[in-house]
Amino acid sequence: MTLPFLEQIFTEDAVLRILIRRRCKEADTIQKALVVDNLAVSSGRRRKFFSSRNKEIYALFPPRREWVHMGCDTKRGELTSQEKNERNLLLTVRKEAKKKGIHPEWYELLDKRIKSIIHAALTDKHIFSKPFVTVIEKKRNEKDKVIECRPICLFKTLDQRIIASLFNKAFTQLFDSYYYYNSLAFRPHKKGEPGMSHLTAVKRIKEFRKSHAGNLWVAECDMKKFYDTIDHDIIKKRFSQMLLWCKQSGTINVDERRVLRNAIHSYVNCFSFYRDVYAYNKKPNHPIWNSVKNSTGYNKQIKWIEDEFEKLFDSTEWNYRTKNHHKYQLGIPQGGAMSGLIANVIMHFIDIKLKCFWEENPDFLYIRFCDDMTMMGADERVVKEAFKRYSGKVEENHLYVHPPVAFTEKRMVSFWDGKTRPPYIWGSPGKDVFPWITFVGYDVNWMGDTRIRKSSVRKEIKKQFEKKMEIARLLTGKYGRKPQWAKQFVCNSLHKRMIGMSVGRVPIWNYRTFRNECSWAKAFTELTDNRWSRMQLRQLDRHRNKMMKHISRELSTLEYDEVKPSDKKARNDAVWYFGKPYSYFGQVLKKW
C-alpha cells in the first residue's frame, strides 16, 4: 500500500510536535492552578492538579531541569512563554535522538508511542471510539428555572485525539482549494490576512460597505443545533464526493482515498447525539452534571430539536431513512478536531448553489463563518432570491435554521433577539431601515463603524467576575483557607492576571506596539473608534476595577500573619494603579 500524500502528513516529527504542544499546555494549565492555590496556606490540595492524563504525557518527556534552554527574551515579543517551552523541549528530544547507544526510558517510550500512533492511523478501520462527554453552562432561564448546558466531547485516549488532529490537517489541505473564497472558518491562514479568520470577515464587510453608498439589502441566517443535527448519511456522501474530486485531480491515490474514507466514517459512526448526549436528560443524578454549579436547585438540561422531529413523524416531509433515524444517525462530536472540517464540507455544497449570485457580481457579498451566514447587495430582488435558494438548500441537507423574526422600526428589540433575519434594508435609520448588522461577535454600522456585540461584552464581564470569585472562594467564606501572603500581594496578583486575560502581558516599554497575543483584545482589532465602542471598553475597565475593589474589601476582614520580606513592595493599603497602557480602552483602540 503506497500513501505518498498521507506519509507527508503522518510523520514522526508532526506527531512529536503535537505531543510537545500538549505537554506544554498541560504544564501551563497546572501552573495557572498552582498560582492561585499558592495564595493560601497549603492544605495538601495540590495533588488534585495531577491526574492520570498528566502522568501519561509527562512520562514521555524528561523533567524540566533536563531541558535544553536557549536564550530568548519573551518580554520583547519574540516568542510567547509557551512557544519558548515548546521550542526548548523539541531541541531536547532532537539532541537525545542524535546520541548513540542506550537512550533513557522516556525516549524509548516516546519513540514507541509515535510509531504506534502512525501505524494505527494508517491501518486501523475503527480508529475512534465513543467520546467522553462533559457539559458546561450555556445560559440560565430564571423563568422556567432551567440551566441550559452545552455538551463538549473529548476522545478518551491521547492517541485518538492526535490522530483526529492529523486527519483534520490532511483533509484541510486536500479540500481548501475547493472551498468558496468567503467561507472563512477553519481555513489555513493566508499571508496578509489577520491571524483570526473572523477578523477577515468583519474587514470584508466594512470594505463592501465602504464601496457601496446608500442603502443595502441584507439577510442573515444561523443554524439551530447545527453540530447536533448533521445527518451521518449526508456527510459521508459529501466526503466521498470531495475525495473523488481529489483522486481525479491526482492529489491522492486509491489507497489513500480508502484510508481517508475509513477515518471519516469511523469519526462519524462513533457518536450519536440522541444516544450519547440527549439521553442524559433522563439521568439527573449522573456525574456528567457535576461540572455545572447549581446552588439554586434549577433543573439542568441539554436542549435539542426533538419537537421538530415529532411534528414531521406524520407529515409527508420526513426525509430520513427510518422513523428512528434521528436517534442513531444524527450529530457529530462537538469539540472534536474534525468537527469544524465536517461543518465546512456540508456547508460547501450549499455555498456552490449560490455561485451564480456571488461570481462576477461586485454588488453582491455572501460571507459564511461556519454555520453563520450573511449576504448583502444593492438589488433587493437578487438578495431575496439568494436567501430563498440558500434556505432551500439548507432544508435539503436536513439542517434546521432558527425561525425568521419579523421586526419593525417600533420594536428594535426583536431585531437583536433574532438569529435568522430575512432580507431587510441596511442604511441610515428611517422607516423599516435598520442601521446595524451583526456577525461573528461584532455589530457593524451602516457608516462602517464597529462595536462589540452586547453578548460578547456580557461574557467578558462574567469572566472578570469568575476570576474574582476564584480568589474569594479560596480565601473567604465558610471553607476559606488562611492567606499565605499580605492582602496587597493577593490583590495585585489577581489584577495582573486580569490584565493578562484582557490585553495580554503588556511590557511598559513598548505598550504602544504590543501585539496583545493570547488575550481578549486580540479578537477585537477591527473595532473602530466611535462613541459605542468607547463606552463598551470603558465599561469593561470600570467593571474590572469594581471587581478589584470588591476583593480588596472582602480580604480586609481576614487575619494575616506578620508581613514577610517579600511583601515589602506593598507598603500601603492601596491596590496598585496600572493605568491606560493596561486598559481595554487603551490597548484595543490604541489611543494614547
Split at pLDDT 50, 70, 90, the class of 210 is very high
| pLDDT of 450 over the 70 cut | yes
What does DSSP assign to residue 61? S
Q: In the predicted model, what is the mean pLDDT of residues 344-369? A: 92
Count CA atoms closer than 13 A to 476's CA, side-chain side.
Answer: 16
Give the least confident one: 160-174, 360-374, 410-424: 410-424
| pLDDT of 564 over the 60 cut | no
Question: From residue 523, how far is each of 67, 191, 502 by CA, in Å?
Answer: 33, 18, 10
pTM: 0.90
Beta bridge partners of 132: 154
Q: What is the pLDDT of residue 414?
A: 63
Q: What is the pLDDT of residue 33?
A: 86
Q: What is the pLDDT of residue 228?
A: 93
- Cα dihedral sign for 333, 338, 344, 348? negative
Quote the CA–CA distance of 468 and 464 in Å, as a whole number. 6
Highest mean pLDDT among 80-89, 244-253, 301-310: 244-253
Q: Which residues of 356-370 are buried (b: 16+ CB within 10 A; e: fewer)?
A: ebbeeeeebbbbbbb
Q: What is the pLDDT of residue 43?
A: 66
Split at pLDDT 50, 70, 90, the class of 476 is confident
| pLDDT of 76 over the 60 cut | no
Q: What is the pLDDT of residue 571?
A: 47
| pLDDT of 568 over the 70 cut | no
Kind plus residue range of the DSSP H or E element containing 132: strand 132-141
| pLDDT of 323 over the 60 cut | yes
Q: In the predicted model, what is the mean pLDDT of residues 269-283? A: 93
Asked if 151 and 302 touch (Cβ cutoff 8 Å), the reply is yes
